[in-house]
Amino acid sequence: VQDGSLIPRFGRARRDPTLAVLEGLHPLKHALRFGADVIEAYTDDPSELARLCARLAPDVARTIAEITRPIGRTAFDELAPLAPSTRVMALARRPRIDLDAVLANAAPAPVVLLENPRDLGNMGACVRVCAAADAAAVITTGSHDPWHPDALRAAAGLHFALPVTRIDSAACVPSGGRPTIALDPAGEPLDPAGLDPRSLLAFGTERHGLSRELLGMADARVRIPMRPGVSSLNLATSVAAALFGWRLAMRAVSSRFPEA
């Protein structure tokens, strides 16, 4: 591959709904750890990358060394709007997701629904915390692609740790027998221990919150308590508070979440 031909190739990949552009070592590390099909990877500084891998990703360092090809600095800097300081970029295939099967899964883990999130960094932060809390999936509505490279970067590539997908509208979500719980600052106080572990937890858009349509579909409307005078939490922060409030209240030990 000529260095120059990589620039349009990465440009096209950014718009390709079957591909994921991984900008940096952390997204690549998590992609490999969670079984991604990584097609190709490039660095302009192999020795610095090897040093970082030994420190930050020893479990996948060998694979990264095998799949990563050196290219010139000028070409590398053109592969993304802001080249990552960890000096590696890669392309991977997005996993196929069977939404009906994901929602029907009987495992005690909530699905997180983000209604029309507007900020790609926020979307990535939500995916990251959902992966950490071992949620069953992240579903988004609205125009923004949850697999956008900026969201992948903010999620440190943890999209590969759980199903992440976008649908047209919340009305398209097959319930899979899950109660829909609307997270809303104007709801009833949240009782994390009483939450059905298979709930569909719905969070609203950054500025306007949940739509009337979604509030109308919900089986319950709950709030995370806040000090008087504070209007709301940031979207990703509220996802973290709800999921870890539930996780810590549950205290169930499972092989997938051994520290609970």
Ligand X SMILES: C[S@@+](CC[C@H](N)C(=O)[O-])C[C@H]1O[C@@H](n2cnc3c(N)ncnc32)[C@H](O)[C@@H]1O
Binding site for ligand X (CB under 6 A): 183-185, 203-204, 206, 208-210, 223-224, 226, 232-235, 238
What is the crossing angle of helices 46-56 and 25-33, to 10°?
60
CB of 223 to ligand X, least distance (A): 4
CA dihedral (35, 41, 47, 52) positive or negative = negative
| 3-state DSSP assignment of residue 239 | helix
Cα–Cα dist 1/197, whole Å: 49
CB of 202 to ligand X, least distance (A): 7
CB of 101 to ligand X, least distance (A): 26
Strand arrangement of the beta sheet that strand 19-23 belongs to: 19-23, 89-93, 37-43, 68-70
Which one, 33 or 118, has the nearer CB to ligand X? 118
Which one, 146 or 209, has the nearer CB to ligand X? 209
Contact 139, 167 (CB under 8 A): yes
CB of 7 to ligand X, least distance (A): 37
User: Distances from the Cα of 210 to the Cαs of 190, 191, 199, 254, in angstroms?
Assistant: 16, 20, 17, 32
Which one, 48 or 206, has the nearer CB to ligand X? 206
Both tokens of residue 180?
């829909």
Which one, 52 or 215, has the nearer CB to ligand X? 215
Q: Report DSSP state, residue 94.
A: P
24 Rama sector, left if φ>0, alpha if ψ -120 to 50, beta otherwise = left
CB of 256 to ligand X, least distance (A): 26
Which one, 76 or 203, has the nearer CB to ligand X? 203
CB of 157 to ligand X, least distance (A): 24
Which one, 11 or 185, has the nearer CB to ligand X? 185
Contact 17, 77 (CB under 8 A): no
